[in-house]
Chain A
Amino acid sequence: MKARLHSIGMPNREPERPESAAVLQGTLDLMVLQTLATLGPLHGYAVAARLEQVSGGSLRLNMGTLYPGLMRLEQRGLVRGKWGVTENNRRARFYAITAAGRRQLAAERVQWDHTASIIHTLLREPK
């Protein structure tokens, strides 16, 4: 990754994103929505920890991927973020899935199952 440099008085924005973003684009939304739907409101770290746990440690989310992703979901009205307090009495921002988020999740799940079954059939085809 190229080093980011900032010039004086003028931000230097190269149109680059963290590498993992490309891999996860699209599926990240689905995973986050599903996590929030099953476990209820969670803060960002809890979402990341859950995904890491479910994937057996192979899915490690960079903050630069996770938080812009959450922000995008929030901007789209699929989740709602609210400051709250953790069980250890720490201030944290909790994200909850909204009604629109559940509808989107349902739609995307159907889509995903459909795609997956096609891929599955294709790959299992006798040579």
Chain B
Amino acid sequence: MIVLREWLSRLWGTFRRGRPDADLQEELRLHLELAAEDDDRRGSAPDAAARAAQLKAGGIAQAIEAQRDQRGLPWLEDLGRDLRYTSHTLINAPGFTIVAVLSLALGIGANTAIFTLMDAVLFRTMPIEQPDRLYFLGHDPGPLLELSSNFPIFERYQTATVFSGVTAYQSRTFLVRTSEATERVVGQYVSGNYHAVVGAPMALGRGFSSEADRQPGGSLLAVISHDYWLTRLGGSADVIGRMLTIGDRSVTIVGVTAQGFHGLNAGQRLHITLPMSVMALDAPRFFGDKSGWIGMAIVGRLASGVSEPEALAATDVLFQRFMQEPDNGWARMPGRDRFRAAALVPAARGTFSLRTQYSKPLWVLMAMVGLLLVIACANVAILFLARSTDRAGEMAVRLSIGAGRSRLIRQLLTESAVLALLGGAAGVMIAIWGTDAILSVFAIGPSPAAIDATLNVHVLAVTAAVVFLTGLGFGVIPALKSTRVDLAPALKDGARAIHGARRPTLGKALVVAQIALCVVLVTAAGLLAGSLSNLKDFDAGFSRDRVLLADIDISGARLSPENRLRFFSELLERMRGMRPVESVSFSSRTPIDFSSQLRRIEVPGFEAIPRNGVSPNTVTPGYFKTFGLNVIRGRDFTDADRQGTQPVAVISDAMARHFFGNGDPIGRTFVLGPDTHKTFIVGVVEDARHERLRSDTPSRMVYLPVAQITAGLDGTINAPNRLALSLRTTEEPAALAADLHREVRAINKDAMLPYVRTLEQQIDAALIPEHLLSTLSSWFAGIALLLACVGLYGVMAYNVARRTREIGLRIALGAFPTAILSRVLRETFVVSAIGVAIGLSIALAATRVLSTYLFGLTPDDPATLVGATGLLLSVALLAGFLPARHAASINPVGALRDQ
């Protein structure tokens, strides 16, 4: 308490609120007078008495100084003085300040932006109670790890005592009807204990608590998200008890989850949650469905005191028992390498697919921005070094009149700290803008990953640490170096001292490092950009340009199967009539649409195992024409292939070769599971990378006519509610989107077009990691190049300034300016060539980690390496040219007279 009071008082005193110096002086003077009088009284001579008193009591100056120290907080006063001094020096050298702050801002901004993404995608935990106690109950650990389960196994798991609660959810897209329109909303069906087990935070009302799952229609309730409440329901306080129409049912809203809670599927914006008992109204059989996994995710919260291995052991016992149940024969099919063991997956950060997909690209980018920051720091260090020549005289004067070296270093470090802070503040601005720009790369595709990349305390803490480290990083060495001044010559020659013995090796070393790191970044960027363009240009079998794709969803229109087919054929007719349309077709899948299917097929002579599986697509006549696939043998589909006629199929070349070798497949038959009827092959079509651009072998595709899709044994029509429309046009395809919307609505106003895009856009959506890496690495390489240029320029300019007299002398003695020019350029070239050589060897080793993202070139692609070398050297020479020209134009008279 008492000490706190002293510190407050001293803090007060720091701001000149304590006793003034005159007051202190008067007190001390009295002390000396009284002391002298006392001595006088004892008989000394007045002069001697005063001197003795002074000797005994110490000097006034020292006492005042000690009192000043006690009055305020000296370090705080020094800091204030350093800050004032720093602001003067920085303002007086605006060029230096701007370049330094910008360098740091770019470095720190890039780091903050990437770390923001990493935090959002990889590190942040869900806003739920005790997230680290929540686990997904999946199966098949290792590369086959999957979270998809079904209701029966969920019921078995619920008996486990190692969990305080086990719950399940099934993601769905809900059709929400309002008086104006029908909207597709991300939702889920959950077991009645979901909110309690997950520990979901609520903003209003309640979550589900004990609604029974096996009670169809027993609880027509809904919980909505905070976002949905604000954007669709106006955020009104009386939302609890309001009704929502979802599909054909009305449900009552009982709760709103807190802001930031979006379920456990990472990257998804969950808005509406319904109890599983509502799902049972439409699919009553799913409770007992043991015919496979249906995509239900199961989560459990560990009971207190139970460790993860204990819980896993108990879960696995239940899993094994379940898989041995008699009607789970599918799990023991030959050729299956699955369903071996249960797996517990931490659920604190939600599902892992987004993390798996982006973890490596983000780490690669983090490494890149790390290098960028090193380059930026080197830049500022170079600027400091260059400036220390200018300030050598100033430092010498200070040191010679007694300033402590530690005091001067503190002053210089204050300067670097201020620069780092300014750079950090500007960097955060850049990061806010940059994160948005980066997120726009993610925001494509049918269900763009929702990433909440806002700045938060974690990110700012990391940025602060980075700022602190950079401040030290670029500040310490120059500070140590510039305060080690050889006083005599520095004072004599002032700022233009010639340190003959001290060559600027440190600056050159920094530039070499900068250029080397720059080469690494430029090479990586070149490889990634090259791969992306290879991926975009490579012939995947289908033609990519001028195709518009649109998902057409008519589930909201509630049409009979016949009317659905009628709807689709009417739309085909209307679109076919439009002028720029070359060909138009429907299909259940389109190339590179994220779908992946493998169906069991029975072909005489082949085992029906996954290794022999095929990938199906149902199409209308015209599909092959739309995508530029030629029919190699037999025929295309026609309108005559419809319900009631012979079931037919067109197969891909890869499938034909797999099953029939060089024989003729036309007229052969197969049975495609789960159907039981025989299908005749009528044609063979060219191969295409239908599922993945990067696959080495094209998938074995089997195409079936839409009009022949039947439902099981009775052969009734099972027309789909949702198909993808493909339009090949003669003009820019995106221009047709408005017409398409109009025509669809004209036929049926309840039809929806949830996703309209060009084929190019669809392919881009499949290449998000590649886009992300390529775009960002190009930016970073560009920034690195710019920074390295500034660094090189700084060092060469400093070098020329340092040697002004020498160069002047040379010119005076008859050296040609061109000789001076080429001399400086040669020096630049040597420095950059060393940097490039070191950089190339690092790049060769480092770019191996990129190989998963490369396509059509290897990490040691010669063209890229040569390109990077050429780019770096030419940019370096450009940066070196200005100082060289300056050197050549030095006026010998002026240069020599100034000395």
Binding site for B on A (CB under 8 A): 4-14, 17-18, 43-45, 48-49, 60, 62-65, 67-68, 71-72, 75-78, 90-93, 100, 104
Contact = CB atoms under 8 A, between A and B. Distances in A.
A63 B57 contact: yes
A76 B10 CA distance: 10
B58 A64 contact: yes
Contact of A72 (B6, B35, B60): B6
Given A10-B403, A18-B62, A63-B60, A90 B67 contact: no
Interface stretch (B21-29, B211-219, B460-468, B822-830): B21-29
B31 interface: yes
Closest 9 CB pairs of A and B: A5-B402, A7-B403, A75-B9, A68-B70, A63-B63, A64-B63, A62-B58, A64-B66, A45-B34
Contacts of B237: none
Given A10-B398, A45-B31, A62 B57 contact: yes
A76 B3 contact: yes
B56 interface: yes
B30 A12 contact: no
Interface string B71-85: 100100110010001
Contact of A45 (B3, B9, B30, B403): B30
Given A67-B66, A75-B10, 18 more contacts: A4-B62, A5-B401, A7-B401, A7-B402, A10-B403, A11-B78, A12-B402, A45-B31, A49-B34, A62-B57, A64-B67, A65-B66, A68-B63, A68-B70, A71-B19, A75-B9, A76-B5, A92-B30
* Interface majority SS (helix, strand, loop, mixed), chain B: helix
Contacts of A67: 24, 27-28, 31, 63, 66-67
A9 B86 CA distance: 13
A60 B27 contact: no
A49 B66 CA distance: 21
Nearest to A15: B74
A72 B57 contact: no
Contact of B67 (A13, A17, A60, A68): A68
Nearest to B77: A11
Contacts of A75: 5-6, 9-10, 13, 70
B675 interface: no
Given A11-B78, A13-B78, A71 B403 contact: no
Nearest to A20: B58
Interface in B382-412: 397-398, 401-404, 407, 411
A65 B71 CA distance: 13
Contacts of B398: 7-8, 10
Contact of A11 (B67, B70, B81): B81
A14 B6 contact: no
Given A62-B57, A71-B71, A76 B2 contact: yes
B602 interface: no
A7 B400 CA distance: 9
Nearest to A7: B403
A68 B62 CA distance: 11
B129 interface: no
Nearest to A77: B5
A93 B22 CA distance: 13
A25 to B, nearest CB: 13
Nearest to B401: A7
Nearest to B399: A7
30 contacts: A4-B65, A5-B403, A7-B398, A7-B403, A8-B401, A10-B407, A12-B403, A13-B69, A13-B78, A17-B66, A44-B31, A45-B35, A49-B38, A63-B31, A63-B58, A63-B62, A63-B63, A64-B67, A67-B24, A67-B28, A67-B31, A67-B63, A68-B66, A68-B69, A71-B67, A75-B9, A77-B5, A91-B26, A93-B27, A104-B2
Interface string B1-23: 01101100110010000010000
Contacts of B5: 75-77
Contacts, number: 111
A91 B27 CA distance: 9
Contacts of B24: 67
B174 to A, nearest CB: 69
Contacts of A43: 27, 30
Nearest to A12: B403
Contacts of A68: 63, 66-67, 69-70
A99 to B, nearest CB: 13
A19 B27 CA distance: 22
A100 B2 contact: yes
B453 to A, nearest CB: 45
A75 B404 CA distance: 30
B375 to A, nearest CB: 33
Contacts of A6: 401-402
A17 B70 CA distance: 11
A71 B13 CA distance: 11
A7 B404 CA distance: 9
Contacts of A45: 30-31, 34-35
Nearest to B81: A10
A18 B66 contact: yes
Contacts of B38: 49
A51 B403 CA distance: 37
A45 B30 CA distance: 8
Among B3, B13, B34, residue most surrounded by chain A Cβ atoms (within 10 Å): B34
A125 to B, nearest CB: 36
A71 B411 contact: no
Nearest to A90: B30
Contacts of A13: 69, 74, 78, 407
Contacts of A7: 398, 401-403
Among B3, B27, B81, B407, residue most surrounded by chain A Cβ atoms (within 10 Å): B27
B62 A64 contact: yes
Contacts of B19: 71
Contact of A91 (B10, B30, B63, B407): B30
B28 A63 contact: yes
Nearest to A73: B6
B866 to A, nearest CB: 54
A86 B521 CA distance: 80
Among A12, A45, A104, residue most surrounded by chain B Cβ atoms (within 10 Å): A45
